[in-house]
């Protein structure tokens, strides 16, 4: 799966969940500063993300998610475990 | 005979459901089939806010409740020493000093069950007493359910579009379909009875002790005397009778509690309860093992439902039984009304699945409040902290949603079900926190330290009473939950620290409480 496609899917998920303008959801966009998500949004994002990648997201992992690209990388790693290892 | 709804069981669950259905759709053909003939003493007198709103508002029973049952003055908890020798007025206490903003009631169950049967029959519901259901042939969305009924007059077959199991612990349909969840990880036993000539708790103690609750009536509360591993209740039920009982983890159970002498002797080993029972005589005694159990399903696309104890029962500590009935009956009434009004199968099925998923969440969330936590009950410091968390969740999450009828709103239900794992994760984390604290306090010999002379008003920490039942954004509700988590964790850390100079505790975001972690680290 290409990064572009995952980015598109993540953008759609974030835009829909938080009623954001999709254009703001660039790879570089910071979740809390640029997209203005708060701690309750983080909870909703994790729940959505878990549905996306079919596994639990631990609290430390959530703390590691700072930008849209971080989210994209997490989804990518979940979908292509071999690629991550390589 | 053909019915729209056949209800098996004419206790509080079945009786209230028949009334509710009848009020909603006056033309509905409803049958209630009850095995017994005369209602007798049943436990389950104490109602809390959701059930009271249901009975008063949804069922239009306000006047009736005030005329024939007792107004209730909230839940109240007393704490004793290790030697069980504390006088009542010296015990620490959690309780109200003013009536809660939603009136609740102490129900005389035998009377309520009988009155509901009479009222339902007068309203045109077919009420068959002395009626045993001997055979059930479940139907589905296209074929009616078939029941074989046996009375003294003979045997007859009934067909019904909807079948509701309200048969209590008999669980007639539930067992036939293999639904019961026997092991819910919470193994309780209980013994109880009605007593005459119980001393009025408002007539004992000192003036200062009565002033502490501003002269309000403790007698009208559901009074809990709390001990490690078990508790004792005193609930007034009118006409000079008081329901008194004990609930314990199985490790504390003894078979002689099943007899009135055994129960009374046990109760009298505790100085507070002994004072109240000094001249008391026992009217009857009942007992039960396996108090708690669950179900794998509440509602089905095959047009059946289980309500009340025919579905599940968690724990009587916070009197949740009739709250469950309120939710379940609202849902069944809504489903039957939609079906009757010609709702499409797809729409109805989606609703059934969501209602069912929500009730299973509600059941598991309620069980999480008690599972493994009986050792915490006997310590004022521990239980007041746990109570602060539990009552906040109850007002902020459950009562609020009920008042706004969000439990019938698909979007709200989807949200709840989506947050099932995080919600249960948070409750488990706090359960672990309270167990860790209990171990800590015990090790230090501080478990009973706060059990003398202290008083905490029951709604301390519920800083949103004025907001409950008013429209609030979802984020506001979740922020309030997060704030409560932070408050309880900070106090728990101070308690774990044990003395003055506890380090400041950084607040955490809500999600941190919902992933598996130790909250005291």
pLDDT value at A83 more than 80: no
- Average pLDDT of B165-172? 96
A58 touches chain B (CB under 8 A): yes
Residues B24-56 have pLDDT tens digits of 999 999 999 999 988 777 888 899 999 999 999
How far, CA to CA in Å, does A61 sit from each of A28, B108, B511? 18, 54, 12
In this structure, are residues A25 and A14 in contact, taking their beta carbons and an 8 Å threshold? yes
Q: Which residues pair with B151 in a beta bridge?
A: B154
Residues B173-187 have pLDDT tens digits of 999 999 999 999 999
The pLDDT-based confidence of B461 (bands split at 50, 70, 90) is confident
The rounded distance, in Å, linking the Cα atoms of B496 and B501 is 12
What's the token pair of residue B192?
């109880």
Residue from the list B475, B512, B517 with its beta carbon closest to the beta carbon of A40: B475
SS (H, E, C) chain A: CCHHHHHHHHHHHHHHHHCCCHHHCCCCCECCCCCCCCHHHHHHHHHHHHHHHCCCCCHHHHHHCCEHHHHHHHHHHHHCHHHHHC
Residue from the list A39, A56, A58 with its beta carbon closest to the beta carbon of B510: A39
In this structure, are residues A34 and A24 in contact, taking their beta carbons and an 8 Å threshold? yes
DSSP state string for B329-365: HHHHHHHHHHHHTT--HHHHHHHHHHHHHHHHHHHHH
Residue B293 carries which DSSP code?
Answer: B
pLDDT value at A84 more than 70: no
Contact residues on chain B for A58, CB-CB shorter than 8 A: 515
What's the token pair of residue A25?
């959801």
Residue from the list A39, A47, A58 with its beta carbon closest to the beta carbon of B509: A39
Query: Where are the strands (E) in B138-229, listed by range?
Result: 145-151, 154-165, 180-181, 188-196, 222-227
Residue from the list A43, A56, A58 with its beta carbon closest to the beta carbon of B510: A43
Q: Characterize the bridge pairing of strands B230-238 and B222-227.
A: antiparallel
- Average pLDDT of B424-442? 97
Mark yes or no for CB contact B511/A58 under 8 Å: no
CA distance B477 to chain A (A): 10
The rounded distance, in Å, linking the Cα atoms of B419 and B162 is 31
- Average pLDDT of A43-69? 91
The rounded distance, in Å, linking the Cα atoms of B341 and B353 is 19
A85 touches chain B (CB under 8 A): no
Contact residues on chain B for A39, CB-CB shorter than 8 A: 482, 509-511
Name the average pLDDT for chain B: 95
The pLDDT-based confidence of A78 (bands split at 50, 70, 90) is confident
Name the average pLDDT for chain A: 89
In this structure, are residues B263 and B257 in contact, taking their beta carbons and an 8 Å threshold? yes
Contact residues on chain B for A42, CB-CB shorter than 8 A: 509, 511
Phi and psi, residue B166, nearest 5°: -130, 35
- Average pLDDT of B201-210? 94
Model confidence, pTM: 0.95
Contact residues on chain A for B476, CB-CB shorter than 8 A: none
Query: Where are the strands (E) in B343-484, listed by range?
Result: 455-457
Q: Which of helix, strand or coil describes residue B226?
A: strand
Mark yes or no for CB contact B515/A59 under 8 Å: yes
Q: Where on the phi/psi map is residue B368: left (φ > 0), alpha (ψ -120 to 50), or beta?
A: alpha
Nearest CA in chain A to B474: A40
pLDDT value at A86 more than 70: no
- Average pLDDT of B261-280? 98
A4 touches chain B (CB under 8 A): no
The rounded distance, in Å, linking the Cα atoms of B141 and B154 is 29
Mark yes or no for CB contact B511/A62 under 8 Å: yes
Nearest to B71 by CA among B45, B40, B50: B45
CA distance A86 to chain B (A): 30
The pLDDT-based confidence of A85 (bands split at 50, 70, 90) is very low
Mark yes or no for CB contact A47/B418 under 8 Å: yes
CA dihedral B458, B459, B460, B464 (to 10 degrees): 170
Mark yes or no for CB contact A43/B478 under 8 Å: yes
Which residues from B are below 8 Å from A when comparing CB atoms? 418-419, 421-422, 475, 478-479, 482, 509-512, 514-515, 517
pLDDT value at B454 more than 70: yes
pLDDT value at A1 more than 80: no
Nearest CA in chain A to B421: A47
pLDDT value at B140 more than 70: yes
Contact residues on chain B for A32, CB-CB shorter than 8 A: none
CA atoms within 13 A on the CB side of B110: 12
Among B396, B511, B512, B518, the strongest candidate for a mutation testing the A interface, having the largest count of A CBs within 10 A, is: B511
Residues B57-78 have pLDDT tens digits of 999 999 999 999 999 999 999 9
Residue from the list B419, B511, B517 with its beta carbon closest to the beta carbon of A39: B511
User: CB B491: neighbour CB atoms within 10 A?
Assistant: 19
A vs B, Cβ pairs < 8 A, gives: 33
Mark yes or no for CB contact B509/A58 under 8 Å: no
Nearest to B230 by CA among B206, B210, B254, B209: B254
In this structure, are residues B15 and B55 in contact, taking their beta carbons and an 8 Å threshold? no
Mark yes or no for CB contact A46/B512 under 8 Å: no
Mark yes or no for CB contact A47/B479 under 8 Å: no
């Amino acid at each position: 799966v290409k990064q572009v496609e995952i980015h598109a899917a993540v953008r759609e998920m974030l835009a829909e969940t938080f009623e954001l303008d999709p254009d703001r959801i660039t790879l570089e966009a910071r979740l809390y500063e640029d997209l203005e998500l708060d701690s309750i949004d983080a909870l909703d994002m994790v729940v959505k993300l878990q549905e996306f990648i079919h596994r639990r997201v631990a609290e430390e992992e959530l703390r590691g998610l700072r930008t849209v690209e971080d989210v994209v990388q997490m989804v990518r790693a979940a979908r292509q475990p071999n690629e991550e290892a390589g | 005979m053909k019915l729209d709804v056949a209800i098996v069981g004419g206790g509080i669950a079945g009786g209230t459901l028949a009334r509710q259905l009848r009020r909603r759709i006056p033309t509905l053909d409803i049958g209630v089939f009850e095995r017994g003939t005369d209602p007798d003493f049943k436990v389950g007198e104490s109602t809390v806010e959701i059930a009271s709103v249901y009975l008063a508002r949804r069922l239009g029973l306000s006047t009736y409740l005030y005329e024939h049952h007792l107004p209730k003055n909230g839940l109240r908890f007393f704490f004793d020493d290790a030697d069980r020798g504390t006088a009542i007025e010296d015990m620490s206490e959690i309780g109200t000093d003013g009536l809660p903003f939603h009136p609740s009631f102490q129900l005389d169950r035998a009377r309520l069950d009988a009155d509901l049967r009479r009222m339902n029959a007068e309203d045109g519901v077919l009420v068959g007493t002395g009626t045993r259901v001997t055979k059930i042939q479940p139907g589905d969305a296209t074929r009616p359910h078939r029941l074989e009924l046996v009375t003294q007059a003979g045997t007859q077959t009934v067909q019904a579009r909807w079948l509701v199991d309200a048969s209590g612990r008999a669980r007639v349909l539930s067992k036939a379909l293999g639904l019961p969840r026997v092991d819910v990880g919470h193994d309780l036993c209980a013994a109880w009875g009605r007593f005459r000539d119980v001393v009025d708790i408002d007539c004992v103690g000192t003036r200062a002790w009565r002033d502490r609750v501003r002269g309000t009536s403790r007698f009208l509360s559901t009074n809990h005397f709390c001990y490690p591993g078990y508790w004792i209740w005193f609930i007034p039920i009118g006409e000079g009778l008081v329901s008194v009982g004990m609930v314990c983890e199985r490790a504390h159970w003894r078979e002689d509690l099943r007899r009135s002498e055994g129960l009374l002797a046990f109760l009298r080993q505790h100085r507070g309860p002994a004072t109240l029972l000094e001249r008391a005589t026992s009217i009857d005694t009942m007992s039960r093992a396996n108090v708690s159990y669950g179900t794998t399903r509440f509602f089905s696309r095959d047009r059946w439902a289980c309500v009340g104890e025919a579905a599940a029962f968690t724990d009587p500590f916070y009197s949740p039984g009739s709250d469950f009935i309120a939710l379940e009956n609202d849902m069944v009434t809504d489903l039957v009304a939609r079906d009757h009004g010609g709702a499409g199968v797809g729409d109805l099925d989606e609703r059934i699945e969501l209602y069912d998923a929500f009730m299973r969440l509600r059941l598991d969330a309620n069980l999480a409040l008690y599972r493994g936590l009986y050792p915490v009950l006997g310590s004022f410091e521990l239980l007041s902290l746990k109570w602060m968390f539990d009552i906040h969740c109850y007002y902020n999450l459950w009562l609020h949603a009920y008042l706004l009828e969000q439990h019938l709103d698909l979007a709200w239900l989807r949200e709840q079900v989506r947050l099932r794992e995080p919600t249960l994760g948070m409750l488990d984390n706090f359960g672990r926190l309270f167990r860790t604290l209990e171990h800590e306090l015990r090790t230090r010999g501080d478990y009973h330290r706060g059990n003398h002379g202290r008083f905490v008003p029951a709604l301390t920490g519920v800083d949103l009473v004025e907001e409950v039942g008013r429209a609030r954004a979802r984020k506001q509700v979740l922020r309030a939950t997060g704030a409560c988590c932070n408050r309880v964790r900070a106090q728990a850390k101070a308690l774990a620290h044990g003395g003055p100079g506890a380090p400041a505790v950084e607040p955490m975001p809500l999600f941190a409480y919902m992933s598996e972690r130790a909250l005291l680290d």
